[in-house]
Amino acid sequence: MRKSRAETAETRKHIIQIASKMFKSNGIGATGVGEIMVAAGLTHSAFYRHFASKEELVSEASSASIGVFVKAAEEAMAAGPNAFTNYLQNYLSSEYRNGELGGCPVVQTGGELALADAPVRQGVSDGLERLLEIALNLTDGSPEAEAETIFTMSAIVGAITIARLINNPQLSEHIIEVAKRRVAFRPDQSSKRPESATKRHRVTAHAS
């Protein structure tokens, strides 16, 4: 019995959701199409009725994953600067570091995607550009504000990435907290940022 277009579209969406989770959890290269289809409750042969290749699925899954962050950012932007700041701070959490909230494709698969062909990473690229656009729309448009925004967005991803790689749990958590405090200040308040106790904490953390 042939499926309707709506059923086919729903099955495709289901495969993409499963693939997105598995790619972020296990890595793109280490996750095979067969494994994804089994997890989705489908046969391996059914895969090619929905996708031309694994690369197409990687692109779709990554695009869907970054789309979650873009949607949340757009909703925060509509609520104002404070809501957007909260959105950024919420990203800086142990839950995102550990992938417990679905995970970020940039943090969890960015290294692999960077080596992929441009069409494969197009969805993530578009998503990141949109996130930067949203953040820049909340500034005064000056070169200084633009530079601060780009730095902040890059620092957020970098902080989570480093925190994931650090074995010392205390230092890992501290990195997230430092980044979260810095994000709380907008560019025009940068001179008011409190001094960090990073150096002292590192010594203590390593000694523990």
* Mean pLDDT, rounded, for 8-22: 96
Question: Comparing C-alpha atoms, which of 112, 101, 100 is closest to residue 62?
Answer: 112
Domain that holds residue 100: 54-207
Q: Residue 89 domain-assigned?
A: yes
**Number of domains comprising the chain:** 1
pLDDT band for 201, please (50, 70, 90 cuts). very low
- CATH code at 176? 1.10.357.10
Binned at pLDDT 50, 70 and 90, residue 203 comes out as: very low
Per-residue pLDDT tens for 18-75? 999 999 999 999 999 999 999 999 999 999 999 999 999 999 999 999 999 999 999 9
Q: Does residue 27 form part of some domain?
A: no
Torsion of CA 169, 170, 175, 178, to 10 degrees: 150
* Residue 36 covered by a domain: no
Q: CA-CA distance, 194 to 180, in Å (whole number)?
A: 12
In a domain, 172, yes or no: yes
Nearest residue to 87 (alpha-carbon basis) of 68, 112, 114, 60: 68
Establish if 110 belongs to a structural domain: yes
201 or 159: which carries more pLDDT confidence?
159
CA atoms of 75 and 192, how far apart (whole Å): 28
The band of 202, judged by pLDDT with boundaries at 50, 70 and 90, is: very low
The per-residue pLDDT for 186 is 52
Provide the pLDDT for residue 102: 79
What is the C-alpha separation between 190 and 182, in angstroms, rounded? 9
Q: For the chain, give the mean pLDDT.
A: 86
Instruction: Return the structure tokens found at 138.
Output: 């909340």
At 206, the pLDDT band (50, 70, 90 cuts) reads: very low
Do 39 and 123 contact (CB within 8 A), yes or no? Answer: no
